[in-house]
Amino acid sequence: MSTNINSGQIAELEKQYRICLINSLLGYKSLNLLGTISKTGTTNLCVISSAFHLGANPPLIGMVMRPGREHNDTLANIQATGQYTLSNVQPKWYKQAHQTSASYPSGVSEFGTCGFDELYVPGFEAPFVQQSTVRIGLKLRETIPMEINRTTIVIGEIVKILIDNALIGHDGTIDHVQAETMTVAGLDAYFLTRPIGRLAYAKPDIEPHEINQPG
């Protein structure tokens, strides 16, 4: 038995069921802790699953931020300071990472409240997560308001990478299995990955047609 759900039926689904269904449709997504700091020095941390690769030259990462709320400090901090961090989530910390999604009052730092330690590096203001193994520092390049659902696409340029040398392969590929980077499906189902294989750069496998020269 299979299910065929059309657009009209989607709109009529119970709210929580619809949220879980739509959020989990695309399967596994990247999972990161987003760290920011306010102009007055209050840090903020929240778990996100919307980060995506946008380009390597310049090195850009995009992410989708939910519609702003009065107690949502994350986007305000990014716009005010122009800096933020993304840090991976490891198995022993996924419950604490999940807790950062709670709606804490404005001005409350999820770092201390949820048990994470702040890590700072010279020349960069925003805090990284000490308990992570892959940490990325970003400089805000562009924000794009989405009129269709009031979300905001935030585009940042990678300016810092904090990672153990042993996690970087000879060709530059990050070993996320060894880094114990977790992933997520939907809003609250967390997973570890396992490697299947790596393939060579794909090239057309169709042999060119022989061209008969006149004469």
pLDDT tens column, 113-129: 999 999 999 999 999 99
8 Å CB contact between 176 and 134: yes
Cβ-count burial 72-104 (b if 16+ within 10 Å, e if not): bbbbebbeebebbbbbbbbeebbebbbebeeeb
- pLDDT by position in tens, the chain (length 215): 888 998 889 989 999 999 899 989 888 999 999 999 999 999 999 999 999 999 999 999 999 998 866 667 899 999 999 999 999 999 999 999 999 999 899 889 999 999 999 999 999 999 999 999 999 999 999 999 999 999 999 999 999 999 999 999 999 999 999 999 999 999 899 999 989 998 998 998 776 555 555 55
| Cis before 105? omega within 30 | no
Angle at alpha carbon of residue 79, lines to 75 and 85, rounded to 5°? 70
Strand order in the sheet with 59-65: 43-48, 32-37, 83-88, 134-145, 152-163, 59-65, 52-56
Q: What is the pLDDT of residue 196?
A: 92
State the Cα–Cα distance between residues 163 and 92, nearest whole angstrom: 18
8 Å CB contact between 122 and 137: no
Q: What is the pLDDT of residue 37?
A: 97
Q: What is the pLDDT of residue 215?
A: 54
Residue type, 103: S
- With CA atoms as reference, report the closest residue to 104 among 19, 47, 40, 32: 47
Residue type, 79: Q
Non-local CB neighbours of 193 within 8 Å, separated by 6+ positions: 28, 176, 177, 181, 183
8 Å CB contact between 2 and 167: no
Q: 4-11 — which CB contacts under 8 Å span 24+ positions?
A: none
* Torsion angle defined by CA atoms of residues 39, 68, 33 and 63, in that order, rounded to the nearest 10 degrees: -110
Residue type, 214: P
Q: What is the pLDDT of residue 179?
A: 96
8 Å CB contact between 63 and 154: yes
